[in-house]
Amino acid sequence: MPDPNPAVLDYLANRRSPGAKLFTAPVPDRDQLMQILTLATRVPDHGKLEPWRMIVLDRAAMTRLADLAEERARELGADAEKIEKGRGQFDRGHLAVVVISSPKDAEKVPLAEQVLSAGALCMNLVHAATAAGWGACWLSGWPSHDATFRARAFGCAPEETVAGIIHIATPGPMAPDRPRPDLARLVSWS
């Protein structure tokens, strides 16, 4: 017989994604963040490859990356809206953890499983930070999908991608719940 954990079930049933734009200081200190990171790394990791790495961005790094995003957008001939979107998440950020999907050359572990491990790490970061009382929001944005920006900002090799940028800080007001998927339309039974 299973032994349900009502607190976890309740958390999952009521989880929402707070808007990172509304986050404020303070942010977790180094010890608090290390606890969050330790919990978050308990992800499926076939073969113990650790096919990901993380970069912690403090406020100063966020300012540097906002400037870098604007510079890259101008190189691409972007309009004002794209420039603002590129700067936006960094300009308004207080602290974030960038999860880099960094696949390893391993015959026994398919690339897809390695990439999914990085995605699982992103979701675990959101859950661990939220469980610790912080606001957490998983974002990406066009700069994280631009190979030149990734290389300049995070030292990404060509085979590396940004799985997510997890903003962590004091949460603002909780957004209303959004409509949830229609499971009758999405689930089939075999």
Q: How does pLDDT run across 86-144, given as a tens digit for each residue?
A: 999 899 899 999 999 999 987 889 999 999 999 999 999 999 999 999 999 999 999 99
Contacts of residue 139, Cβ cutoff 8 Å, sequence gap at least 6: 20, 89, 164, 165, 166, 167
Please write the tens of the pLDDT for every residue from 33-91.
Answer: 999 999 999 998 777 899 999 999 999 999 999 999 999 999 999 999 999 999 998 99
Q: Can you say which residues are annotated as belonging to the binding site for FMN?
A: 15-17, 42, 46, 138-140
Which residues participate in the annotated binding site?
Answer: 15-17, 42, 46, 138-140
Superfamily of domain 20-173: NADH Oxidase (3.40.109.10)
Do 99 and 162 contact (CB within 8 A), yes or no? yes
> Which helix (H) or strand (E) is 162 found in, with range?
strand 161-169
pLDDT, position 45 = 79
DSSP for 129-144 reads HHHTT-EEEEE--HHH
Catalogue the E-assigned strands of 47-115. Answer: 52-57, 96-101
Could you tell me the residue ranges of all domains in the chain? 20-173
User: Could you tell me the pTM of the whole model?
Assistant: 0.94
Longest dimension (CA), the chain: 60
Are 85 and 51 spatial neighbours (Cβ–Cβ below 8 Å)?
no
